[in-house]
């Protein structure tokens, strides 16, 4: 029997990405896999392209009832939060393994229905490195939103940034930011922490494309554990370090209130405000595309936070194509889901289910 991958529609507002693009779906079909793609009212890629690639087409959000029990349900972001038990094998970003709020409720739906979670964040090779990530585009978009927020502050806009929409490619985004920067007599400088990683490299590339001065920090620069007063002396700080135990504090209340603070925009690409390990404990909730900034300090030098957990959706075509190409080699081994990449993800799932 062919391994069946079912690409579900996303339900998170404004989420236009997809984990598997038509060209890569066609490669799976050629390798003997069965691929179903749901129709979607918001996906950046038209459903017709999946049909042309040889995929079976299903109605939007029909997987819960229509997908066979043995299907792998492939998505990107959250499942509908309706509490129902889950019987399928799901592949998506679950955000349940780092003690996030309500993680027990979300994870508990899988053993309740006999289902399994293969978390995209925990698909790793033998060296522990993730096989696929949206990180580059998260950093790129996170830096872009930070620059746009800074420009909005200088223009006196309240709030500094209007609701965000997706761009067909990076070129119109860069043109828009360049025009906004040209309206002023100064440019911001930027500090990126995690500059050697995927997200950090995306943030650095965005800054350098706009001709901004960018300071690049990684593990060596943060090994002391802080404090780091240098961060608050930059106009923009982009955090690209994954939240984890032992992560140092980068910006705290004392930095926000410091008299020498130039920092006016923080873009927290890692975006984990609910975690006890949050390295930027000056905000307690994520922001969204329709309300992208959170003001944490007023005054002559205001301080705004951007913390959007699906930033790559600003550039859904480029980010989806990149992610899909990274994920494809792993998907081609999905006919043996207890070995390799999938076996390691299954071990993580079972370990965390045992914590419930």
Domain locations along the chain = 4-122+316-353, 135-313
In this predicted structure, what is the pLDDT of residue 245? 86
Mean pLDDT (whole number) for 180-194: 96
Average pLDDT, integer, range 271-287:
91
Distance CA 169, CA 321 (A): 12
Q: Which CATH class is domain 4-122+316-353?
A: alpha beta
User: Phi and psi dihedrals of 144, rounded to 5?
Assistant: -65, -45
Both structure tokens of 3: 């391994």
Q: pLDDT, tens digit, for every residue of 163-182?
A: 999 999 999 999 999 999 99
**Per the structure block, which two tokens stand in for 26?**
């066609």
pLDDT tens digit string along 30-84?
999 999 999 999 999 999 999 999 999 999 999 999 999 999 999 999 999 899 9
Is the pLDDT confidence value at 145 over 90? yes
Using pLDDT thresholds of 50, 70 and 90, give the confidence band for residue 98.
confident
pTM: 0.90
Instruction: CATH number for 135-313: choose from 3.40.50.300, 3.40.50.720, 3.40.50.880, 3.20.20.120.
Output: 3.40.50.720
* CA Rg value for the chain: 21
Q: Do 4-122+316-353 and 135-313 share a fold?
A: yes
The answer to whether residues 136 and 322 touch, using CB atoms and an 8 Å cutoff, is yes
Q: Known catalytic residues?
A: 77, 95
Beta strands in 2-108 (DSSP E): 4-7, 34-38, 56-58, 72-74, 89-92
Query: Would the pLDDT of 244 be above 90?
Result: no
CA distance 309 to 116: 23
Cα 18 from Cα 75, distance rounded (Å): 7
The helix/strand/coil state of 188 is coil
Nearest by Cα to 102 from 275, 348, 281: 275
């Amino acid at each position: 029997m062919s391994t069946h991958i079912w690409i579900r529609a996303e339900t998170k507002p404004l989420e236009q990405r997809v984990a598997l693009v038509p060209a890569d779906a066609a490669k799976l079909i050629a390798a003997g896999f069965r691929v179903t793609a749901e129709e979607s009212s918001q996906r950046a890629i038209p459903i017709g392209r999946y049909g042309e690639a040889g995929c079976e087409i299903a109605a939007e959000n029909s997987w819960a009832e229509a997908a066979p029990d043995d299907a792998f349900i492939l998505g990107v972001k959250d499942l509908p939060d309706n509490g129902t038990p889950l019987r399928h094998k799901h592949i998506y970003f679950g955000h349940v393994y780092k003690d996030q709020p309500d993680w027990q409720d979300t994870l508990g739906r899988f053993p309740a229905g006999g289902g399994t979670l293969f978390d995209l964040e925990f698909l790793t090779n033998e060296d522990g490195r993730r096989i696929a990530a949206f990180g580059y585009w998260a950093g790129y978009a996170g830096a872009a939103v930070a620059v746009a927020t800074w420009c909005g502050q200088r223009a006196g806009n309240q709030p500094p940034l209007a609701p965000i929409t997706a761009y067909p490619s990076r070129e119109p985004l860069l043109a828009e930011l360049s025009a906004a920067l040209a309206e002023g007599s100064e440019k911001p400088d930027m500090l990126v922490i995690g500059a050697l990683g995927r997200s950090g490299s995306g943030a650095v590339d965005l800054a350098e494309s706009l001709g901004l001065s960018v300071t690049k920090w990684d593990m060596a620069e943060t090994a002391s554990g802080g404090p780091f007063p240098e961060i608050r002396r930059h106009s923009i700080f982009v955090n690209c370090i994954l939240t984890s135990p032992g992560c140092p504090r980068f910006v705290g209340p004392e930095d926000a209130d410091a008299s020498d603070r130039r920092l006016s925009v923080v873009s927290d690409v890692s975006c984990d405000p609910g975690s006890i390990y949050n390295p930027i404990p000056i905000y307690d909730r994520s922001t969204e595309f329709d309300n992208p900034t959170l003001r944490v300090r007023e005054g002559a030098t205001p301080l705004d936070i951007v913390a959007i957990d699906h930033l790559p959706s600003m550039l859904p075509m480029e980010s989806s194509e990149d992610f899909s190409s990274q994920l494809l080699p792993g998907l081609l081994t999905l006919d043996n889901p207890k070995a390799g990449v999938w076996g390691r993800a299954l071990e993580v799932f079972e370990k965390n289910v045992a914590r419930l």
